[in-house]
């Protein structure tokens, strides 16, 4: 019995190590296409009930701002609904942040219904013709996000991963959470 438990633990640890290596290697190989028609920025935690993005969301927005300033014709869809009793949607906080950083409000579209990654591709498709798309999200979140984007029917898609800072505690949470979420999405998430 001890042997079974020992080998089971080894297999579990190996799964997490190999999946994390795959996740971060995949993100390191991605480059966004210039002059995309649309950028989709995936939502993340906001601070309390304020209009401040959390550190992880700010990292995503900052890399999106750099791209949007270099590609002034690209429109942006900010995604994220009302989560955990907050009074502001992730999308509204993201739009406010982008506008504070000089992105014209006419380029920003809010998708404020989604509460799951899979929905953050379906709902924007229902809102408008997206054309070619760049997805902006965290490096650890990119493999699952691209899989779900393709399953949602987005075919002209590239990625802009934001490097999650080692000072951000969410990076360490992602080391155990994202391999589980990836397996769950691979098995069960087929957005339509």
Write out the two tokens for 44.
């993340």
Q: What is the pLDDT of residue 54?
A: 87
Grade residue 49 by pLDDT with cuts at 50, 70 and 90: low
Interval 122-160: pLDDT, tens: 999 999 999 999 999 999 999 999 999 999 999 899 999
Q: Average pLDDT for residues 53-80, to the nearest whole number?
A: 95
For range 67-81, the mean pLDDT = 96
Which residue range forms the structural domain that includes residue 107? 2-188
pLDDT tens column, 178-188: 999 999 999 99
Q: Are strands 75-79 and 38-41 parallel, antiparallel or unpaired?
A: parallel
Q: Residue 173: give its domain's CATH number.
A: 3.40.50.620
Distance between CA atoms of 141 and 150, rounded to whole angstroms? 15
CA distances from 11 to 3, 15, 145, 156 (A): 12, 6, 25, 37
Q: Rounded to an integer, what distance in angstroms lies between the CA atom of residue 152 and that of residue 146? A: 10
Domain count, the chain: 1
Q: How confident is the model over 65-85, as a mean pLDDT?
A: 93
The band of 110, judged by pLDDT with boundaries at 50, 70 and 90, is very high
Share of the chain above pLDDT 70, in %: 98
Kindly report the number of other CB atoms within 10 A of residue 161's CB atom.
26
């Amino acid at each position: 019995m001890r042997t079974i438990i020992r080998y089971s633990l080894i297999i579990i640890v190996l799964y997490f190590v190999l999946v994390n290596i795959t996740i971060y290697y995949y993100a390191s190989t991605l480059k966004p296409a210039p002059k995309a028609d649309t950028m989709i920025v995936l939502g993340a935690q906001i601070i309390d009930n304020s209009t401040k993005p959390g550190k992880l969301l700010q990292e995503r927005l900052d890399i999106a701002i750099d791209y949007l300033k270099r590609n002034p014709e690209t429109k942006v869809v900010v995604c994220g609904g009302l989560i955990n009793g907050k009074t502001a949607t992730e999308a509204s906080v993201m739009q406010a942040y982008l506008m504070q950083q000089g992105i014209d409000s006419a380029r920003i579209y809010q998708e404020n219904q989604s509460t799951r990654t899979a929905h953050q591709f379906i709902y924007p498709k229902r809102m408008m013709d997206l054309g070619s798309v760049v997805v902006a999200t965290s490096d650890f979140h990119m493999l699952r996000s691209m899989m779900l984007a393709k399953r949602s029917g987005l075919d002209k898609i590239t990625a802009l991963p934001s490097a999650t800072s080692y000072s951000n505690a969410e990076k360490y949470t992602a080391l155990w959470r994202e391999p589980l979420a990836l397996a769950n999405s691979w098995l069960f998430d087929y957005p339509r």
